Structure 1
Amino acid sequence: MKNKGGRIFVNHKQRHFNFQLHDGDEMLIVLNAEEPSDLIKPMTGSVDVIFEDDYLLVVNKPPGIASLPAKARDSKTMANLVKAYLISKKENSTIHLVTRLDRDTSGLMVFAKTSYAHSLLDQILHTEDFQKFYLAMIYGHMEPASGLIDLPIGIDPDAFYKRAIDHQVGKKSQTVYKTVENYDNGSLLELKLLTGRTHQIRVHLSAVGHPIIGDDMYSQKIDPRIHRQALHCYNLQIVHPVTKELLNLKAPLPQDMVILKSVLRGERNG
């Protein structure tokens, strides 16, 4: 704030940042304007907005699109689409990505509209005030049907872009799971993240012997029934950091996972 044009008013008078406050003083903080980075180019396209106010933007990401641009890619990402969306509304188009999803994972993603809102959300990101729930379709049945996967995750020594269970230097990683429906050769799980490691759900389910259907990176097999991992962030329960309202946000299961579920049910029935 101090170096970028922010201002502080105490009892309706503008004051310097070293002004001594007293009980009962009324303070107004005017945040500095943000200058959007040129690193993320605006690209027009469809943005499925689930929730929006002055502080947050929650969107439903389709599968097959990355969250942020990679250095070597010029392809369209959610960050590019959201930037164009914010520009079209004549709002601050600085990208503040709070939660990200893998390219082939679908579902709810959270963007903050200001650095202030971003900071507030980061403070609650891995607490009960910010709960993330996923649906996944896996090979086999979990035993027990619900529980906690508590296995540390580190970088795969054989491939930097993959993750693996690492009991020596891996970071603490916890995933709560619950079986929603069993099929002959698979299951539908609801999963809740207690930590936020890269590929966490995919690595954890693979490690316990039940990789996600379609996740060829961690299952080591191509599945013709779906062309990506069957993983979807379907529910966010967030205590709004400013209004303190509980946001219970949902994104419906995408078409490819709906079809897969029907196929799995059909296999069970016949």
Structure 2
Amino acid sequence: MKNKGENKGKDKNPKREKPQTTQFKVKQEAELMKFLIENMPHKNRNNIKTMLKKRQVVVNGTAISQFNHVLKPGDSIELSRRPADSALKMPGVVIVHEDDQVIVVNKNAGLLTIATDKEKRDTVYSMLSSYVKVQDRGNKIFIVHRLDRETSGLMLFAKSKEVKELLQETWTETVGERTYLAVIDGQLDPTEGTHSSYLFESKAFIVYSSQDPERGQHAVTNYSTLKSNDEFSLLKVNLETGRKNQIRVHMKDLGHPIVGDKKYGSTSNPIRRLGLHAWVLAFTHPTTGKKFRFETSIPGSFLKLF
């Protein structure tokens, strides 16, 4: 997708200098960060992280911000001194991957996916809608799945209604991995396992858990402990189903609610946010069939507890 400044014949100032770029050709498979460090000895790791965040690293025409993006032989890399248009105008949202069909973002805790009747401030949806319209006013964005406002992490959006519907209709087959990190009160015994129940939502928008299959939708959550101490545990959580508030309700079922989750029974808030983060998202591209896997950093506030 072209940025606004790339449209030919629309530049009213022909003397304006084009941003200087550096180009590389990939000869063998490597992670993006390692490749850039080896090929730019004058740049340190922090310099390169800043360039990735500003979406100044373009691989095969797509701006990439994921440091562990895997490069293939023949890939073309372009480094621009000027950030991509509108790349820094979405507070709390970082674009991890973008192509003609989909956008993957990493969102901060505290951001709604889409506006509600009670909440009209900037949302991930509204910011991405403005972002894609910079390139073309006719561009649109479509929500494929949602994260709770207080949950941070990876989200997938579509650029057309057709791709959105295709992703949603084939979600179970398309999404190969959807892994969360959860900080809970106390320690689990046993430290790993699977919990299943049937979830249903009340008129007050609270999700309840039942073992009665007639009362709700089946939900299955797999979990294992990564770190723990006397007060808290850090869990790796994989979903077999994607029900609303599923992890939050299942942790309550187990007697160890997610920290900061007053709605579902937690009385602690050591990190001043909900202790839930969408950590890994892997999926098969809906039109090209290419497999993608994105993994974010573990939130620093989570690690500080251990």
What does 1:20-99 correspond to in 2, within 5 Å? 45-46=90-91, 47-90=93-136, 92-99=138-145
Deviations 1:211-254 (A, max 9, x none): 1111111124242x222211000110101122211101122233
- Aligned residue in 1 for 2:164: 118
- Aligned residue in 1 for 2:227: 181
Query: Which stretch of structure 1 is more off in the superposition, 98-107 or 146-155?
Result: 146-155
The answer as to 2:242 corresponding to 1:196 is yes
Query: TM-score by structure 1 length?
Result: 0.75
2:207 to 152, 163, 169: 163
- Aligned residue in 2 for 1:101: 147
The answer as to 2:272 corresponding to 1:230 is no
> Gaps spanning 5+ residues in structure 2: where?
1-88
Q: Distance in 1 between matches of 2:138 and 2:250?
A: 38
List structure 1 segments (4+ residues) > 3 angstroms apart after TM superposition.
127-130
Q: Distance in 2 between matches of 1:113 and 1:154?
A: 31
Q: Distance in 2 between matches of 1:69 and 1:86?
A: 18
* Native 8 Å contact 2:179 2:278 kept in 1: yes
- Aligned residue in 1 for 2:284: 239
* Native 8 Å contact 2:132 2:141 kept in 1: no
Q: Relative to 1, partners in 2 of residues 1:116 and 1:128: Cα closer, same or farther, differing over 3 Å?
A: closer
Q: Distance in 2 between matches of 1:51 and 1:45?
A: 15
Which AA in structure 2 matches 1:162? I
In the TM superposition, residue 126 of structure 1 has moved relative to its aligned partner by 2.5
* Native 8 Å contact 1:153 1:163 kept in 2: yes
Q: Relative to 1, partners in 2 of residues 1:160 and 1:126: Cα closer, same or farther, differing over 3 Å?
A: farther
Number of aligned positions between the proteins: 215
Q: Distance in 1 between matches of 2:194 and 2:172?
A: 16
Q: Relative to 1, partners in 2 of residues 1:182 and 1:75: Cα closer, same or farther, differing over 3 Å?
A: same
* Native 8 Å contact 1:124 1:130 kept in 2: no
Which AA in structure 2 matches 1:214? G
Q: Relative to 1, partners in 2 of residues 1:92 and 1:232: Cα closer, same or farther, differing over 3 Å?
A: farther
Query: Which stretch of structure 1 is more off in the superposition, 92-101 or 228-237?
Result: 92-101
Q: Distance in 1 between matches of 2:302 and 2:238?
A: 21
Task: Let me know the Cα RMSD of the aligned residues.
Answer: 1.7
* Native 8 Å contact 1:66 1:103 kept in 2: yes
> Gaps spanning 5+ residues in structure 1: where?
1-43, 266-270
In the TM superposition, residue 73 of structure 1 has moved relative to its aligned partner by 2.3
3-state SS of 1:209 partner: coil
Q: Percent identical across equivalent pairs?
A: 32
Q: Distance in 2 between matches of 1:212 and 1:234?
A: 16
Which AA in structure 1 matches 2:129? K
3-state SS of 1:64 partner: coil
